[in-house]
Amino acid sequence: MLKFGRECVESKEWSGHVPLVLADAHDEVPLYYLEKSDQATYWKRPEVWLDIKAAFEKFFWLNPNKPGWHHNYARYAYWCEQWDELNQQLLQLGPVNYDYFGGKEEFDKMVLLAKQHAAPDAIGDNK
């Protein structure tokens, strides 16, 4: 799955949502772990973040007018504990779909953690 997902990101022929196949593949991998703790730690692996970042960078390059997908990227950044990227994505969300993040309380928790862990210059004036 991951190999095919990486091919989707690297392809010069495919466009649209195709680069996000790699992110979808990563969604599936933790389901194979029996322990919930193993599922959560999967997202902390550096190679997982590199794939997620590559998928979304390619997607946004191909689809600059798809701002709704910043919700997805923000959630992955949160799971991967990529705080600076999460803070950047939070600035681009527009109207927040709280249900997507598990409710307003979960979203607020995510925002607080992002601000607490971010580099000082990563969140600009929105501290």
Final residue before a domain boundary, out of 28, 49, 65: 65
How confident is the model over 37-50, as a mean pLDDT? 93
Q: Do 47 and 14 belong to one domain?
A: yes
Q: Are residues 75 and 52 in the same domain?
A: no
Query: Distance between CA atoms of 71 and 97, rounded to whole angstroms?
Result: 8
Domain membership of residue 125 (yes or no) is: no
Mean pLDDT along residues 17-38: 92
Would 71 be classed as within a structural domain? yes
* 82 & 96 share domain: yes
Please check the confidence at residue 114 and state whether its pLDDT lies above 70: yes
Inter-residue contact 10 to 55 (CB < 8 Å): no
Kindly state whether residues 78 and 58 are assigned to the same domain: no
DSSP the chain: -HHHHHHHHH-SS--TTGGGHHHHHHHHGGGG-SSHHHHHHHTT-HHHHHHHHHHHHHHHHH-TT-GGGHHHHHHHHHHTT-HHHHHHHHTT--S--GGGGTSHHHHHHHHHHHHHHS-TTSSTT--
Least confident window among 32-41, 66-75, 85-94: 32-41
Q: Is residue 10 scored above 90 in pLDDT?
A: yes
Domain count, the chain: 2
Its domain, for residue 90, covers: 66-119
Domain edge (last residue) among 24, 47, 65 = 65
Q: What is the mean pLDDT of residues 74-88?
A: 96
Choice between 37 and 55, residue whose per-residue pLDDT is larger:
55
Overall average pLDDT of the 8-27 stretch: 93
Tell me if the pTM is above 0.95.
no
Q: Are residues 16 and 50 in the same domain?
A: yes
